[in-house]
Structure 1
Amino acid sequence: MVTIVLKGLRDTEEFGERLGNILKGGDVLSLTGDLGAGKTTLTKSIGKGLGVEEYITSPTFALINEYNGRVKVYHFDVYRLDNVDDLYDLGFEDYFYSDGVTIVEWGDRISELLPEETIHIHIEKGKELDERIVTISGEGERYSQIVKELREI
């Protein structure tokens, strides 16, 4: 597990872009944290690092948005999901096990459906107004590679 303290919006954006630059097709991220913690802000920055030029918005009512970057980016927001069966109807496996990068806001709500090697990112508000505490956890080789590369930057 790795904990990073981000001192403001610019730190969050820079962290997200760095992470996006490291990610590759097949990676799945689960973002968790309270409302307003910065999950969508982080997703926008990750998208930028992945080469997405479109404006990234939260798919709260659409459930999923797709973007083109150097790989496809699938952005889920499962906050309003009534039942995990809705994800089966959507064919979530086609996204989670694809050549794209999948980012799931509120991933803890569907933890039983996430791949084993999902990268878990928890965001908490810090003591200062724009401070965020980011905890990254996961298992497997890909998690280890991502953490190693984040530390090298």
Structure 2
Amino acid sequence: MLSIRRPFHSSGKVDGPIRAPHDGTRDMAKYLVLIYGDEREWAAMSPQEREALGEAHRAFSAAAGPAVLGTHELRPASGATTLRADPGGRVVMTDGPFLETKEAVGGYYLIDAPDLDEVVRLASRLYEVSAGHSGVEIRRVVE
């Protein structure tokens, strides 16, 4: 069962307890919650900001409970390895991310939920939703 502790309000704030029951009659789906942000901003965070970030992720994990199928923080994109085929069809390996962008994927959660609305309510708790230099993308997994 996915437990969501607070409903999302149009003000952008979350408030009040709510539970989203799964009675076994609805199909569950997997959703990938991708956490994006400016790695320079993350590196420059104050200790108080880091604590707020950690607390938001602990609250997210507590609210999601066993619906979290997997989660990891990722190392910086500068340490990525990219594979591409050259014009001759040979695989070429390069150091660094696939694309040079300001924002990079910093982590993810894989969530099992009955619908997107529940994932949105849950993901709205994440610090990165309200941080000016970050964001969260939710994508349904093809099964």
TM-score by shorter chain over 0.5: no
Please tell me whether Structure 1 or Structure 2 has the larger radius of gyration of its CA atoms.
Answer: 2
Tell me the TM-score normalized by structure 1.
0.27
Tell me the TM-score normalized by structure 2.
0.28
Bigger relative contact order (CA 8 A; separation at least 6): 2
Greater strand share, structure number = 2
Greater helix share, structure number = 1
